Amino acid sequence: MSISERVDQIVSDFDQCESWEDRYKKLIQMGKQLPDLPDEKKIEDFRVKGCVSQVWLHARMDDHHRIIFEADSDAMIVKGLVAVLLQIYSGSKPEEVLATPPDFVQKLGFQQNLSPSRANGLASMIKQINYYATAYQALLSRTI
């Protein structure tokens, strides 16, 4: 499934929520379903700068040149935001990640309805995902 198809699915899922309280509940539920990140990956090197909450984001490339993201947070709503980002971006090739603007943030209403600190943290997480994609794309261009 492409990133745009995953975005459409998530937007559709959130559109079924009748209120922002329901959307927050959905985010919390998604965060609870996110596997815990092992303690050895909860280190400063993987911490997302610019987030008020603790957020760790780890990436690796699989044998098919897709980026597999793992992440965790110590805050429930932020962990839900992390879960949304992982559903959208994990399993994609670097060029697909870089070619997809984060317009889903607007479609989901996050920009308007998150607190400024959470919105800034979300932007920092997306920026970190793009840094990983840029690094892996550069690595691939040198090895091919």
Of 3, 10, 48, 51, the catalytic one is: 51
DSSP E strands, 20-102: 55-61, 67-73
Q: Are 124 and 50 in contact (CB under 8 A)?
A: yes
Q: Are 60 and 68 in contact (CB under 8 A)?
A: yes
Structure tokens at 3: 């990133």
Provide the 3-class DSSP secondary structure of residue 108. coil
Q: Is 17 a catalytic residue?
A: no
| Angle of the 76-89 helix axis to the 20-33 helix axis, nearest 10 | 70
- CA–CA distance from 134 to each of 2, 46, 94 (Å)? 18, 16, 7
Q: Which residues does the annotation mark as catalytic?
A: 51
